[in-house]
Amino acid sequence: MGTVLVVHPHEDLIAHLTRTSPLGPGEAARVVADVLAYFSEPVEEFVRRRHRELKARGLTNDEIFPRIAAELPARRVAAPPLTLRQLRRIVYG
């Protein structure tokens, strides 16, 4: 049997990171995997996590929900437009 070569789906990005940073191929692959996992977080989980983080910083809901609404369009997979009420329902049910 021959050797099977496994190619990382983001090999070009990993190669770029190893050329432009002190990261080795294994480290670059882990960074890419971590970033993709971070940005593939479902909308509901993102909203809940950000709410917890901002609440822990002492922000009020009146400050938190508009901020989350402004952050959502920058997510890797654009979230559908959500009203402040929908954001509150994600957090509080």
Grouping H, G, I as helix, E, B as strand and the rest as coil, residue 8 is: coil
In the chain, beta strands by DSSP E: none
Distances (CA, A) of 24 to 8, 9, 15: 14, 17, 9
pLDDT at residue 28 greater than cutoff 60: yes
Helices vs strands, H then E, count in the chain: 5, 0
- For residue 49, which amino acid is it? R
pLDDT beyond 60 at 24: yes
Torsion region of 58: left, alpha or beta (phi above 0 gives left; psi -120 to 50 gives alpha): left
* 41-78 pLDDT, tens digit each: 888 999 999 999 999 999 999 999 999 999 998 887 66
4: Cα separation from own chain's centroid: 32
pTM of the entire predicted model: 0.64
Max CA-CA distance within the chain? 63
* Mean pLDDT of the chain, nearest integer: 89
